[in-house]
Amino acid sequence: MKFYNTLTRTKQEFVPVKEGVVSMYVCGPTVYNLIHIGNARPMIVFDTARRYMEYKGYKVNYVSNFTDVDDKIINKANEEGVSSEEISARYIKECRKDMAAMNVKPATVHPQATQEIDGMIHMIQKLIDKGYAYNVNGTVYFRTRKDEQYGKLSHKNLDDLRSGNRELKVTGEEQKEDPLDFVLWKPKKPGEPYWDSPWSQGRPGWHIECSVMSKRYLGETIDIHAGGEDLVFPHHENEIAQSECSNGVPFANYWLHNAFLNIDNRKMSKSLGNFKTVREISEHYDLQVLRFFMLSAHYRSPLNFSADIMDSAKNSLERIRTAVSTLSDRAANASVQELTAEEAAKLEEMKKFRAAFEEAMDDDLNTADALAAVFDLVRFANIEVTGDSSAAFAGKVKEEICSLCDILGLIAEVKEESLDETIEAKIAERQAARKARDFARADAIRSELLEMGIILEDTREGVKWKRA
């Protein structure tokens, strides 16, 4: 299994620090509002990475934080006249709902920044003691010039960055020794939440949070650190600097970053009016469709969201689910139960699809090619499993499709809902009309059901329905 490592800019064979165990940290959202579909991409992508590593036999210790102290949270709280704690608690709860709807597994631990303040104060003091940080009137800064490896993740020329940031000297940050020095601790402002520290009553900077939570729950050197590509600089660069200067060992061996998500070929932003939350998407689509859409491209490729592309994703997912439903019917109605010799040979042939799936996933989580292998398997199912197939053969093929989809977090088999009595009565009336060859009435009932959001399909196995 190989990953593209942002640190080395190469694909590297994955070798964990501890055999059979993976330590993985994924930067989570700042909880001041409902999560948007930009937040959803790393959630889905790295949940899929976790699922695949678990499939490969690894025990994955997966940590993803909630940033629950931040200017945006404080501003939202002030707007509503409530506490920051109330805002963060509300949106953590809502975030968990959306994650569950996208079939994102809960992390091993979801730490919250406000619960880790003591660890942050301890790490900041250690950095001061080692000469990597300094206190100016209650604000503690990290001294980037002292870290000779600063910039190794983003591969930026620091002299150029410093030259480009000279204007910072006149923006109220003239107390910095260097324009690229960043905040580890800042004094409180009126009305802000704060904690006592040796330097001032205040709160931590954003970057220190992840360094401390990663160390506490995963150790000083972890296998994988992941997040969106917008975090490479400065957030992840700063995490490396403060962690390695404090701990004296490498911070993370593999850095994985997903590419940006655009809306109708434009960057998502509130000012453009194209800002979309996951909750809004759920009003129009099953969030399994959103998950399918996210996995239809390689995670390091830019991805464009549009209604047309989502409709295409919906249709593609429906193809898989229709194949699985047909296989269920064929297994249930088969006249032969046991596998034939010819079918056993076909099952051996079917193994090539799983091999292609694994080859794609082993190559830097190529979910697009993995999905192509799933569709090859669906085509195989549609051709090879017929009304004359055994129940065992239909069942095995169905099981294989569901198994590969499950690794991707896609639910291929949808359990039928119970319909209310009115709809059931209409379906029964239509069946009676068809039997009596009153096709005009049968068509009228089909139209009535469609208006009620029920689509009927007449198959060899009988009438089937699905919601529009």
Per-residue pLDDT tens digits for 435-447: 888 888 888 888 8
Which pLDDT score, from 0 to 100, does residue 429 have? 86
Smallest Cα–Cα separation from 289: which of 467, 401, 409?
Answer: 409
Write phi, then psi, for 15 (nearest 5 degrees). Answer: -130, 110
Which pLDDT score, from 0 to 100, does residue 271 have? 66
Q: d(Cα 247, Cα 241) in Å, to the nearest integer?
A: 10
Q: Look up residue 28 and give its DSSP letter.
A: -
- The whole model's pTM is what? 0.88
> What is 307-407's CATH topology?
Four Helix Bundle (Hemerythrin (Met), subunit A) (1.20.120)
Q: d(Cα 438, Cα 304) in Å, to the nearest integer?
A: 48
Q: d(Cα 176, Cα 135) in Å, to the nearest integer?
A: 10
In 219-306, which residue ranges form alpha helices assigned H by DSSP?
Answer: 237-247, 278-282, 287-295
Which pLDDT score, from 0 to 100, does residue 170 have? 37
Burial 267-301, CB ≥16 within 10 A → b, else e: ebeeeeeeeebbeebbeebbbbbbbbbbbbbbbbe
Q: Does the domain at residues 2-258 carry the CATH identifier 3.30.390.30?
A: no
Domains of the chain, residue spans: 2-258, 307-407, 421-467
User: Fold match between 2-258 and 307-407?
Assistant: no
Positions of the chain with pLDDT under 50: 166-172
* 8 Å CB contact between 200 and 188: yes
Smallest Cα–Cα separation from 56: which of 366, 291, 359?
Answer: 359
Q: For 52-90, how does the pLDDT look when each residue is reduced to its tens digit (9 = 90+)? A: 999 999 999 999 999 999 999 999 999 999 999 999 999
Which pLDDT score, from 0 to 100, does residue 468 have? 61
Q: d(Cα 461, Cα 259) in Å, to the nearest integer?
A: 44
Strand, coil or helix: 2 = strand
Which pLDDT score, from 0 to 100, does residue 453 have? 74
Which pLDDT score, from 0 to 100, does residue 420 have? 65
